[in-house]
Amino acid sequence: QCANFTYVEDYAELVLRALKIKKHRTVYNATTHRATSLMEMLESIAEIMKRQPKWIDVDAKALSKNGINGGRDGIALWFGLDELRFNHSKTERDFDIQFYMMEDALARTIDYYEKLDWYEPTYGWSIKKEQKLIKKLGL
């Protein structure tokens, strides 16, 4: 699965530039990074954070069979889709903008959350729920 990701600082700069255009009649894909697999993004995060997680691969059918169906269950993923891709080359050209490299955007985001002491999220799964599913799937 591949999807585009958007880094907030790049997006904010893009919006500011768009507001300066008086007469605008073009639609843009407001993504700031090339299509990237979730695994590629997670591997980059692990490298930046100097971690070596154990990756567990579970397909969408197995999750659905266990009652887990995407966002409704606190997982922000598009289950069952091969890819979700947008081309942002027109945006880069027309706005004369250079976006942060994905690894730099990830590092800046990690740094931001570390300064917040990585507060406990109120949305998503608890470690207990995750471990229960892993055990149920026999992984």
Alpha carbon distance 25, 38 (integer Å):
33
pLDDT, tens digit (0-9, with 9 covering 90-100), for 22-31? 777 777 777 7
The owner of tokens 């889709």 is 81
pLDDT, tens digit (0-9, with 9 covering 90-100), for 41-88? 889 999 999 999 988 888 778 877 877 766 655 565 555 555 556 777
pTM strictly above 0.75: no
Look at residue 83 in the predicted model and tell me its pLDDT. Answer: 57
Alpha carbon distance 72, 50 (integer Å):
31
Cβ atoms 102, 35 nearer than 8 A: no
pLDDT, tens digit (0-9, with 9 covering 90-100), for 104-120? 999 999 899 888 887 66
Alpha carbon distance 87, 28 (integer Å):
9
